[in-house]
Amino acid sequence: MNKFITPEPQISNSSIVPKYKQVAQNFIERISTGELKAGDKLPSISQSSIDFLLARDTIGKAYSMLQEDGFIYSVYRNGFFVTSKSEKLKVKVCLITGEITEAVKNIYNSLLKELDAKVKISIYLHKHKESELKNILDKCQLQAYQYYIVFPNLFIDDADTSKLLKEIPAKKLILIDKQLQGIQGNYSCFYKDLFSDFQEIYTAKPAKFKSYKNFNLVLPEEYFPFEVITSFKLFCQSQKLEYCIKDGIEEGVSKGNLYFIISEIDLVNLIKTAESNNLKIGEDIGIISLYDKPYKELLGGGITSLDYNYDDIGEEIADLITSNRTGQFRAFAQINIRGSF
C-alpha cells in the first residue's frame, strides 16, 4: 500500500517530553489505534517539518527513533512506511484512580474482556492527593500512553484538578464519575447525576419520603465525592424536605429519620445503633446506601441502594477506543428498593 498520511500535530512546548519523542509518540499512537496500518506511507521529513512546525533535524531524529524501535522502515528514494509490527502493537492505557475499588476492577476487567490482547493497562493510585496525581502525570508523559482513564476524585477543587489534567490531549482523556468544566476540547466522560438519581427514587416512593421528619446525609471520615453534598441539598430543597448533614452517626439515630449512607462502616454502625435503641429499620428509620453489595440484600432486612454498572462503562470505553471517537455519557443509577426504605 502506498497511502500518504498527514499527521495531526500535537506538540506541547511545556511538556517534559522532548519534541522529537512527542513526534514519534504521535505516530505510534496512530499506529496502535489502527489509523496507520502496515504499508502506509508517512510524510517526508520536509513535509512533517512543516506540519509539526519543527526543524528537519527534530523530525529526522523522531523518524530514526521509529526505525530503531521497528515501527517504520525506509525505502531508498521512496520514503518511510509502517512495518508489520503495527499489527501486533497494543493500545497503552493509563488508568488513574484514588484507590482500588469494585468500580476500578470492573472497568479493568471489561477492557481486558472487550479488547483482549489489543490493550495494555497500567494502574496508578493518586490516593486522592494533588501531589500524587501531578507525579503520576509527569511520569506517564514519558510512557506514550494512547488513553488516560481518570477518576478525578481528589481533595481539591475541580478547577485545580482541571489544571493538572490540561496537559493530556482532550481526545486521550476519559473521565469517570464526573465532568470537569475546566477541561477544554472533546474529552470523554462517564458522569453521575445524583440529583436526578434522588429524583427517581422520590418518584417511585414520594409518600415514603414525606413520611420522614428529616433526610440525613451521613458523611464518612474517608474520601467521598463532594458533589454528593450539592446534589443532596438541591434535591431536598426542590422537594421541600427537611434535611441535615452529619459527620458520622456519633450524634445518634432518631426515630422518624431517613439516612443516606456513603461509607460501608457507617452503614454497619447505623444498623448496630438502631438495633441497640430498638429502632426497626424500614419502619422507625429509613436507610438508602450509595453503592450496592450482595450482603446488602440480607443486611437489616435488605438495604435500599443506588449503584452504577461499571461493567457497562468499561464496555463503552472499549468501544470508544476501538472506534477512535469521544463522547460524554450519563451513568444512570441502578435503584434497588428494599426493606430499609
In DSSP notation, 245-290 reads EEESSTT---TTEEEEE--HHHHHHHHHHHHHTTPPBTTTBEEEEE
Separation CA 73–CA 59 (nearest Å): 15
Mean pLDDT of 57-78: 89
Distance CA(279)–CA(253), nearest Å, equals 9
- Mean pLDDT over residues 70-76, rounded? 88
Q: Is 147 helix (H, G, I), strand (E, B) or coil?
A: strand
- Answer yes or no: is pLDDT of 159 > 60: yes
| Mean pLDDT computed over 297-324 | 92
225 versus 188: which is more confidently predicted?
Answer: 188
The percentage of residues in the chain with a pLDDT greater than 90, rounded to a whole number, is: 57
pLDDT at residue 229 greater than cutoff 80: yes
Is the pLDDT assigned to residue 164 strictly greater than 70? yes
Three-state SS at 102 = helix
Q: Which helix (H) or strand (E) holds 9?
A: none
Q: Report the mean per-residue pLDDT for the chain.
A: 88
Cα–chain-centroid distance for residue 113?
A: 18
Architecture of domain 90-191+310-331 in this structure: 3-Layer(aba) Sandwich (3.40)
> What is the pTM assigned to this prediction?
0.79
Is the confidence at residue 168, as pLDDT, over 90? no
Q: Beta strands 334-336 and 304-307: pairing type?
A: antiparallel
Distances (CA, A) of 267 to 57, 93, 218, 279, 293: 63, 35, 9, 15, 12
Is residue 10 over pLDDT 80?
no
Q: From 95, 98, 227, 222, select the one nearest 154 (Cα to Cα).
A: 98
Q: Tell me what pLDDT residue 1 has.
A: 46
Residue 246, phi then psi, degrees to nearest 5 = -115, 145
Does residue 8 register a pLDDT over 60?
no
pLDDT band at 92; cut points 50, 70, 90: confident
Q: How far apart are CA 279 and CA 252, in angstroms?
A: 12
**Measured on CA atoms in the order 163, 167, 171, 176, is the torsion positive or negative?**
negative
What number is the average pLDDT over the span 46-53?
Answer: 90
DSSP 161-207: HHHHHTTS-GGGEEEEE---TT--SS-EEEE--HHHHHHHHHHHSHH
Backbone angles phi, psi at 147, to 5 degrees: -140, 145
CATH number of 194-307: 3.40.50.2300
- Read off the pLDDT band of 2 (50, 70, 90): very low
CATH fold of the domain at 19-87 = Arc Repressor Mutant, subunit A (1.10.10)
**C-alpha dihedral (59, 65, 69, 72), degrees to nearest 10:** 30
Chain centre distance of CA 3: 36
Domain boundaries, the chain: 19-87, 90-191+310-331, 194-307
- The two domains 90-191+310-331 and 194-307 share their CATH topology (first three levels equal): yes
DSSP string, 41-52: BPPPHHHHHHHH
More confident of the two residues 259 and 115: 259
Q: What is the pLDDT of residue 226?
A: 86
Is pLDDT of 224 > 90? Answer: no
The predicted pLDDT at position 86 comes to 64
More confident residue, 203 or 13: 203
Residue 337 to residues 265, 311, 321, Cα–Cα distance (Å): 21, 21, 35
CA 49 to chain CA centroid, nearest Å: 35
